[in-house]
Amino acid sequence: MPDDMEEIITDFLVEAEETIDRVDPLLVGLEDSGFDQETINEIFRGMHTIKGAAGFLGFQQIVDVSHRAESILKKLRDKEIAPARPLLDVILRSFDTVRLLLKQIKAKGHEGQAGPDTARILQELDAALQAAGPLGDAGRRKGPEEVRVRAVVIEGAGGPAPESAAGCGSDRDGHASKASAPMPDKGAEAASADKKNDTIQTLRIGVEKVDHVMNLTGEVVLIRNRLLNLAGGLEQKYSSDPQMESLVEAISFLDLLTSDMQSAVMKMRMQPLKKVFGKFPRLVKDISFSLGKQVDLRISGEQTEVDKSVIENIADPMVHIIRNAIDHAIGPPDERLAGGKPAKGTISITASQKGNHIVIEVGDDGKGIDVEKVKSKAVSKGLITEAEALDLGHEAAVNLIFLPGLSTNEVATELSGRGVGMDVVKSNVSKLNGFIEVITKKGAGTMFRISLPLTLAIIHALLVEVEGSVYAIPLTLVDETMKVEGAGIRDLMDKKVLNIRGRVYPYFELAWLLEGRTGQRGGFNGQNGQDGRDHRYIIVVAVADSRFCIGVDGLLGLQEVVIKSITGSGSAAPSILGATISGDGKVILILDLGYIARNLFDKEHVNT
């Protein structure tokens, strides 16, 4: 039984949080919808349900808070009190308290003294209810009765059900005496069979179980890769053997099936972005209100599904971008009007799937980023030199905002601009193997575009060889590959560069990048290539806004690889994302190009 209880509590925590996440935006939108009664009812029902389950599980603090919030909602629904903003605000705060209580239970397994101060929110809720004006005389008359009945409920929460409940049976003796008829006939069964099929069956499964299936699938993918490899070899050797054809056929079926299985398991982990976006209306409302600004939030594509890890990690960066937009980009109404814009600013958030990427855009119609200001700030903070600032193009200058320690706002406000911020946004996005771009126009607005891979566990990789070792490079970051003559790589002010169709790219040897960059950064210079070859294979890499070339000895082909994290003795080199096992059973290291690029270019900003 204790195990059961634990599971029920886990379920409750998840379901209660989901419920709050669902009703929170409804409450935020209530004012705009003109206090739609059905919406109020839905919010009421959410709190009511949480209260009910919490009562069973003995979470008295949640019962107390949700009960009071529920009472207010009920009176709003029944039009006993007039809707007012303070009421909504205090209910929103009670949601926060319940969230905190849920978190505490999750962490400690119980409610406790150290938890959030429920006494205060209870007081606030009571005060708000008392201050709320009645809506006509009918409401006023009902008031006292409500209070009395509520006291009964609280009493009941502690011990057995109130007496009035037990007395119910005798109240309806008349009905009961008639009750002993045959059970429903079987005819109805067939009729309802169709209806039954319509109901959606949902199963709640622990994440660790799904992840386990995911890992096993990964192993199957590795074995499939090996089999494909082996079969390829055998086919050449025994091409005349009739069984060979069947083997190849069976393996290609396995190939197809594993791909299907992979995407099926991936889908199990996918959740709609609504889970994250649902929190934003409240956020925007709170921030814009506290800053005296008017902001209209438009959200689209919230049904787009992404991996669970994206859901968990994308909220913080987005919150930061939204805060910045309201705090810095969108001006106060009078300032906007003076600039010929509508008083109300707009923040639009869109999400969509583009190929095997998810693209999330957060745009505002604010001031745009002042590139010159960013540059001078970077110079004054010693992040770049003045000469470098002059050389920087628009794009590169805008991207300075992602440098640690740069904030364009002179005064750090409570909300944003504490010097930590955009760099954290960028590193969070990089952690998800994604990248972020900024498109800004002074006076017109700014858009942040975050691109994330659909899945994080299985990637398409380009296998490359350097000095006899094989490495995998995530294909999403590869722009193109080509073979160049050694002479094509030129020296430009002590740096190796490569001219591709008129564009000049920095050039690095992979071996040099991996060896902690000792010695000559260009490594190969046409005359003394390791084995005397006079050409080089080049990978053009695009990480966020930076594009550069990596030189390798050979390109071995594409493969779907399963990322296995490296654990054990010592820590893996930071430039290594993980490892995978190739078709022929060898361990291949997967390069973290995001890290390599950051390290490369951030260091250069500081050092040169």
State the residues that interact with other proteins by CB under 8 A.
Answer: 1, 4-5, 7-8, 11-12, 15-16, 19, 42, 45, 48-53, 55-57, 146, 149, 152-153, 156-157, 160-162, 164-166, 168-169, 171-173, 175-181, 183-185, 188-189, 191-193, 195-196, 199, 204
Give the E-state strand segments of 175-331 in sequence order. Answer: 270-272, 295-300, 305-307
Q: How far is the CB of 184 from other proteins (least distance, A)?
A: 3
Q: How far is the CB of 259 from other proteins (least distance, A)?
A: 33
Q: How far is the CB of 278 from other proteins (least distance, A)?
A: 18
Nearer to other proteins, 189 or 584 (CB): 189
Nearer to other proteins, 56 or 253 (CB): 56
**Beta-carbon-side half-sphere exposure of residue 438 (alpha carbons within 13 Å):** 23
The residues with which 495 forms a beta bridge, in sequence order, are 492
Nearer to other proteins, 189 or 515 (CB): 189
Q: How far is the CB of 72 from other proteins (least distance, A)?
A: 15
For residue 329, the SS3 value is helix
Q: Quick check: 541 and 479 in contact, CB under 8 A?
A: yes
Nearer to other proteins, 91 or 459 (CB): 91
Among 552, 544, 548, smallest CA distance to 594 is for 544
End-to-end CA distance of the chain: 66
In angstroms, the CA 470 to CA 587 distance is 9
Q: How far is the CB of 606 from other proteins (least distance, A)?
A: 53
Q: Which two tokens stand for residue 403?
A: 């440098």
Torsions phi, psi for 573 (to 5 deg) = -60, 140
Q: How far is the CB of 93 from other proteins (least distance, A)?
A: 23
Nearer to other proteins, 50 or 347 (CB): 50
Q: Quick check: 593 and 461 in contact, CB under 8 A?
A: no
Q: Quick check: 227 and 254 in contact, CB under 8 A?
A: yes
From the number of C-beta atoms within 10 Å of its C-beta (0-12, 13-18, 19+), residue 500 rates as: middle
SS3 annotation, 519-544: CCCCCCCCCCCCCCCCEEEEEEEEEC
| CB environment 97-127: b (16+ within 10 A), e (fewer) | bbbbbbebbeeeeebeeebbebeebbebbee
In angstroms, the CA 190 to CA 193 distance is 5
Q: How far is the CB of 151 from other proteins (least distance, A)?
A: 10
Nearer to other proteins, 181 or 411 (CB): 181
Torsion, CA 142, CA 145, CA 150, CA 152, rounded to 10: -160
Q: How far is the CB of 106 from other proteins (least distance, A)?
A: 14
In angstroms, the CA 584 to CA 602 distance is 37
Q: How far is the CB of 112 from other proteins (least distance, A)?
A: 20
Question: Cβ contacts of residue 594 below 8 Å, gap of 6+?
Answer: 430, 433, 435, 477, 543
Question: For the chain, what is the largest distance between any 2 Cα atoms, rounded to a whole number of angstroms?
Answer: 106
In angstroms, the CA 495 to CA 608 distance is 12
Q: How far is the CB of 55 from other proteins (least distance, A)?
A: 4
Question: Cβ contacts of residue 288 below 8 Å, gap of 6+?
Answer: 294, 295, 326, 330
Nearer to other proteins, 196 or 503 (CB): 196
Nearer to other proteins, 148 or 354 (CB): 148
Q: How far is the CB of 8 from other proteins (least distance, A)?
A: 5
Q: Quick check: 430 and 424 in contact, CB under 8 A?
A: no
Nearer to other proteins, 176 or 420 (CB): 176
Nearer to other proteins, 77 or 375 (CB): 77
For residue 515, the SS3 value is coil
Q: How far is the CB of 208 from other proteins (least distance, A)?
A: 19
Give, in order, the Cα–Cα distances in Å from 441 to each of 151, 363, 366, 407.
60, 11, 9, 18
Give, in order, the Cα–Cα distances in Å from 490 to each of 104, 374, 495, 515, 534.
60, 32, 8, 22, 14
The residues with which 171 forms a beta bridge, in sequence order, are none
Q: How far is the CB of 587 from other proteins (least distance, A)?
A: 44
Nearer to other proteins, 175 or 237 (CB): 175
Nearer to other proteins, 169 or 382 (CB): 169
Q: How far is the CB of 173 from other proteins (least distance, A)?
A: 8
Nearer to other proteins, 60 or 575 (CB): 60
Nearer to other proteins, 45 or 308 (CB): 45
